[in-house]
Amino acid sequence: MLDSSTILTLVVVVLVVHYVLADRYPRPQNLPPGPRPLPILGNAHQMPLEYAEETFAKWSSQYGDVVFVKVFHRPVLILNSARAVRELMEKRSMKYSGRPPSVLLSELSGWGDVLGVMQMGERLRKQRRWLHSVLFAEGALDKFRAVQRTEVNVLLVSLLRKPDDYAAHLHRLTASLMMESIYGHTVASDEDEYLHYAEAALKGTTEVASPGAAIVDILPFLRHIPSWMPGAGFKREAAEVKVSIEEAHVRPYEMVERAMAAGDDKPSLVRNLIDECAGRGNLAEERRDIMSAGAVSYIAGVDTTKTVLLNFILCAVLFPEAYSKAQEEMGRVVGTARLPDLNDRDTLPYLESFLLEVYRWHCPVPLGVPHAASEDDEFRGWYIPKGCMVIPNLWLLTLDEELYPEPESFRPERFLGLSAEDAERLDPRNIVFGHGRRICPGRRFADVSIWLAVANIVAAFDVRKAQDADGKDITPPLAFVPGSVSHPRPFKCSIAARNVAMELLADLNPCAVYGARPYQLPFFDEVLT
């Protein structure tokens, strides 16, 4: 056996030789501007592991809205303006809809057959059509309204009884909505078997795809090093997570097949796809892709939706005047005899503006999901090499002073009274849900679910700063977790039912849709029947 110093020396030698000889991307003089690279490393030493969006924003003031860097051999293009993002990722979407190859996710972890990491092609277009038909098409969403209403009712009852656990309640809401819409499965307990499979895959993927582990995507040959070798912990972790990911693919799918065989006719994404493919006689060939479409929909939808709702709670606490205006509008338009529903959305413009400002105020996915150039290109006279990773700094786009004056301020009024053209141009949902042919196919389902939860919290609860033992307000810090999805760090707040809503909350019965089946409320001992 070699000692650790010898192994380290060998790795360094291999790195030097491999990337001196295999540097496939020469640096012409007309590449976009960017920080000066070092030999072999490129700009790897300048790429932050946390809050990269802030570093990229600083580079924008020095190099402009298009910044080129090189991480070892990999070219990376950072887009720091809405104009640059539109010109490349939308107007030239044919060239900029690829994905950077990911050894970690595709080969080591088992996500290689999902649309999030899949390259452009018929298989990807097929999966996007599937998701669009169920989670985006206007008529298709109607079949989920009863489920959304019921799950929001459960949220309200949970907030009433255990308001301090608001973050857990919001997570349960988003997880349950995704399980219902994807698999037609009602999550009736925190110990739900199928929720466990999905949550294990979500947690494992988040942990294994940490910035340190992602080095294998920059240096792909590292996938060949033995898993016992020092520094190869990412391989051992990925192998463990792969088991969870496979279970998240297979087990919920098999549950849907059993339910269908037993005569269950609840609508869901997976059920629709099984019926469609069985009708064409090609279910056996499409079975794995249906599993993949279901699994990735859950992983992609839960954390991002929860993050928006957590941001909403934080904004309600920090900006009480705006929250009070939303409550005043709710009382004036909807009244106090019922809770708001989706039919009320168009009649609540200030609430709509409040939610748009939540989307804008802190982008839930700061750097989106990277794209890749599928061929050499020229942009503004610069050379963009084939395979170049393209990162849109969505966080900076939502803080663009030209689009959103005083971007650090929380001002829902900025979205009121706009022309149809300006409303479309300034809508932050056109930023945070992605761009071009990779835009989130479930964005309409997510937005409807978020609005319904937000509207009902506004109607039913006062959300304020918590108080310490001396009766002084506790102001939550503006602190967000770094990573691909950035949500607020845990904070204390006061969530109390409004007097006008107490009777409505007392009458809620989340079991109405579930029939006679008991519903175990999260974090409580009692069973709601």
Angle, CA of 92, 94 and 74, to the nearest 5°: 85
What does the pLDDT read at residue 133? 80
Short-list 194, 142, 154, CA closest to 444: 142
Q: Are 179 and 195 in contact (CB under 8 A)?
A: yes
Q: Are 269 and 134 in contact (CB under 8 A)?
A: yes
What does the pLDDT read at residue 27? 52
Query: Beta strands 389-392 and 74-79: pairing type?
Result: parallel
Q: Fold for 4-528, please state it.
A: Cytochrome p450 (1.10.630)
Q: Cα 133 vs. chain centroid, distance in angstroms?
A: 20
What does the pLDDT read at residue 6? 39
Secondary structure in 3-state letters for 471-495? CCEECCCCCECCCCCCCECCCCEEE
What tens-digit pLDDT sequence spans the chain (529 residues)? Answer: 334 443 444 455 455 555 554 454 455 569 999 999 999 889 988 998 889 999 999 999 999 999 999 988 889 999 999 999 999 999 999 999 988 887 777 777 777 777 677 788 888 888 888 888 877 777 778 888 888 999 999 999 999 999 999 999 999 999 999 999 899 988 877 788 888 888 888 787 776 665 555 677 777 777 777 777 777 777 787 778 888 888 988 999 999 999 999 998 888 889 989 999 999 999 999 999 999 888 888 888 888 999 999 999 999 999 999 999 999 999 999 999 999 999 999 999 999 999 999 999 999 999 998 999 999 999 999 999 999 999 999 999 999 999 999 999 999 999 999 999 999 999 999 999 999 888 888 899 999 999 999 999 999 999 999 999 999 999 999 999 988 889 999 999 999 999 888 888 887 765 544 443 444 544 444 444 3
**Position 344, amino acid:** D
Q: Are 416 and 350 in contact (CB under 8 A)?
A: yes
What does the pLDDT read at residue 214? 65
What does the pLDDT read at residue 189? 78
What does the pLDDT read at residue 127? 86
Q: Are 86 and 78 in contact (CB under 8 A)?
A: no
What does the pLDDT read at residue 12? 53
What does the pLDDT read at residue 49? 84
Q: Distance between CA atoms of 492 and 506, rounded to whole angstroms?
A: 25
**Position 303, amino acid:** D
Half-sphere exposure of 89 (CA within 13 A, CB side): 32
Number of C-beta neighbours around residue 92 at 10 A: 16
Short-list 454, 503, 506, CA closest to 340: 454
Write the burial class of residue 439 (CB in 10 Å: 0-12 exposed, 13-18 middle, 19+ buried): middle
Parse the chain into domains and list their residue ranges: 4-528
What does the pLDDT read at residue 526? 45
